[in-house]
Amino acid sequence: MSTLDAAASRELTLVELVDRLLGKGVVIAGDITLAVADIDLVKVELRALVASVDALSATAEVTS
Amino acid sequence: MIYVYAIVEGRHELPDGLTGFGGAPLHRLAQGDLEAVYSSDPPSGVAPSEDSLWLHERVLEELMATRAVLPMRFGSTIGDEGELRELLTERHEQFARALAIVRGRVEIGVRATAPPDDGDAERTPASGREYLAAKLERRRAAARMGEDLHAELASLSRASRFRLIADPRPVFAGSYLVDRAQVDTFRRGFEAARAARPGLALACTGPWPPFSFTDGVEGS
């Protein structure tokens, strides 16, 4: 589906997984309590997001 | 406590051998034509990790093979079956509408970014005004990048959503609800969109359960 290498592809898939499972989907009202673990996961997502941007950018440099 | 994986169209058996967190059996709670799929929450709860996210995701993918599914957000727990029944009753209309929209469809994710300009990140702004002007220009660049790409991809899908991130670099994240039978057509359209944009890095993921389309609202 894309020209990313395996490692970049895995990182992108993880970002997309985290984005969906933690940020989307049906929410049970009143269930939104921001715990320490949630904050840590937001940091994981941001790190992974930056990594995925780098991975995507590396692909563009290779293919252009 | 019980852990809820999905709201689904009712009256389909659970896949053989499919279990939830801690190997717990899955159960269905029916309310009218809807069901919730859940398991007993392990005593110490479910900590988020790559493995646990994938477990939740795999339950959804297995269910999706044989029925329309509205994914719950990871970590959705509720007190007991009585509260779960209340949830299904109170939000029945939203859930029924959303299931009708996602039935027979999958979600495809598309991400795009512009590769970094050399020297862009290193340039330190001389003033607050320059900082804000640069920030505004990044936001505009992200919007230009995303909106025309989205229009092209949205035309290949039944419903779509997107968001733009402008900092630290422009990132476009779109979600497209596509008929199962149209996934190959969508992918060809994605490849054409990518070929037409040599300055961008684009990638496509999925198919996913329809996380972005649980609100019961059509369109894009």
Helices (H), chain B: 50-64, 81-90, 92-102, 128-154, 183-195
Beta bridge mates, B6: B37, B71
Closest-CA distance of chain B to residue A63, Å: 8
User: What pLDDT shows up at residue B138?
Assistant: 79
Chain A residues in contact with B200 (beta carbon < 8 A): 60
Ranges of chain B with pLDDT below 50? 119
Q: What is the ipTM of this complex?
A: 0.90
User: What pLDDT shows up at residue B28?
Assistant: 97
pLDDT tens digit at each of 64 positions of chain A: 345 678 888 889 999 999 999 999 999 865 444 444 455 555 555 555 555 555 555 555 444 4
pLDDT tens digits for range B127-148 = 888 888 888 887 887 788 889 9
Question: In chain A, whose CA is at the least distance from the CA of B4?
Answer: A28
User: What pLDDT shows up at residue A32?
Assistant: 46
pTM: 0.84
Chain B residues in contact with A16 (beta carbon < 8 A): 109, 111, 205-206, 208
Closest-CA distance of chain B to residue A24, Å: 5
Chain B residues in contact with A26 (beta carbon < 8 A): 7, 70-73, 76, 95, 214
Q: Residue length, chain B? A: 220
pLDDT tens digits for range B76-112 = 999 999 999 999 999 999 999 999 999 999 999 999 9
CB atoms within 10 A of CB A40: 11
User: What pLDDT shows up at residue A62?
Assistant: 47
Query: In sequence order, which residues have a C-beta less than 8 Å from that of residue B89 and are 6 or more positions away?
Result: B31
HSE-up of residue A34 (Cα within 13 Å, Cβ side): 5
- Report the candidate in B193, B198, B201, B214 with the shortest Cα–Cα distance to residue B171: B201
User: What pLDDT shows up at residue B49?
Assistant: 92
